[in-house]
Structure 1
Amino acid sequence: MAIQVGDRIPHFSALDTKGNSFDSDAVVGKKPFVIYFYPKDNTPGCTAQACSFRDQYEDFLDLGAEVIGVSSDSVISHQKFTSQYQLPFILLSDADKKIRTLFGVPSALLGMVPGRVTYVVDAAGVVQMVFNSMLAGKHIPKALEAVKKIVAVSM
């Protein structure tokens, strides 16, 4: 069952780009965040999406929000991807696809490609936006707009 707007984010953990264990408790209940699932490091759409999040990362930080990217790529792949494109945010390795399954992220292109879905979660851990589109460039403005709404409501 896919996570929907209004659902509480499930607890998860995975290895981050540095090979450290990341636990969702590090952000849930502390600040708003964007968690986006993407198909694969170093592919044209995924690189464009990651670089767009990179280019607007300061905007998310200024709003008190964190950005987390998730794919099934290895920690080593994430390290190369992060280094090559100077990605300042967290990438998680979901090699066993447990997080993708937990969120109910669907596959795309007749099930041949892992889906591209972005979730915006408020500081209480409640999903405020779900955006499912293979159009990589559309995710960043939608996520930023949703974070701005969360921040405006909490003021």
Structure 2
Amino acid sequence: GIGVANTVTDDDIEAIFARDDSAVHMGEGAAVGKRVTDFQLSDQSGASLKLSDLYKRGPVVLSFFPGDFTFSALDQLIDYRDAYEDFEALSLNLVGVTPNSVLNNGIFSSANQLPFKLLSDAGQRVSEVWYGKKFRWLLEQGSQGVFIVSQAGIIVERIIEPVTLHQAQSTKILSKVRALKARKQI
């Protein structure tokens, strides 16, 4: 069984996903192989951004994180910043999604020189759709989720990891993207 959040392993998470019907429990569009549910959020500059506009320009790496200025988010996003040229080399649109305000995202982005967009999901309505009701506890525990979306608007990869263990590092994401490209899935 699954105990306290800090004892949840990658194998536990994968077992949960294997047991459950992702289309039902993860929310419309969040299951691998399903078309995404489009959304529109404001980035750190206040500009409105639609997911569909992003994936039409190239595959999207959509990274949900618990909040600006948290230790785990800082580690994760600095890692992404440092590997940003690798994301660009693969023609990926890297986007962070946080429950923080546009203002906080702007301050956080500037302070850490982040070259990618941070979207404000105040109220976590978008995050709930992507995580789903069954896995809301992961979101509430500060889980970090990464979804890779093809240019056709199909989710081709999902990585959800409890924040207390580790974050989806850029090397792991880039490796998955290279494999997806090799199989012509993105």
Scaled by the length of structure 1, the TM-score of the pair is 0.90
Corresponding position of 1:52: 79
Corresponding position of 1:127: 155
Runs of 4+ deviating beyond 4 Å: none
Residue 113, structure 1, aligned to residue 141, structure 2: yes
Residue 140, structure 1, aligned to residue 167, structure 2: no
Equivalent residue letter for 2:64: F
Deviation at 1:28, TM superposition (A): 2.4
Give the Cα separation in 2 of the matches to 1:146 and 1:9: 19
1:9–1:127 CA contact under 8 A, matched in 2: yes
What is the root-mean-square deviation of aligned Cα atoms in Å? 1.9
Give the Cα separation in 1 of the matches to 2:90 and 2:175: 11
Residue 86, structure 1, aligned to residue 113, structure 2: yes
SS at the partner of 2:41?
strand
Give the gaps of 5 or more residues in structure 2. 1-24
SS at the partner of 2:69?
coil
Equivalent residue letter for 1:78: N
Counting only pairs closer than 5 Å after superposition, residues 12-51 of structure 1 correspond to structure 2 as 12-51=39-78
Q: 1:13 to 1:153 in 2, by over 3 A?
A: same
User: Whose strand fraction is larger, Structure 1's or Structure 2's?
Assistant: 1
SS at the partner of 2:111?
helix
Deviation at 1:108, TM superposition (A): 4.6
In our comparison, the structure showing a higher alpha carbon Rg is 2
Give the Cα separation in 2 of the matches to 1:97 and 1:112: 10
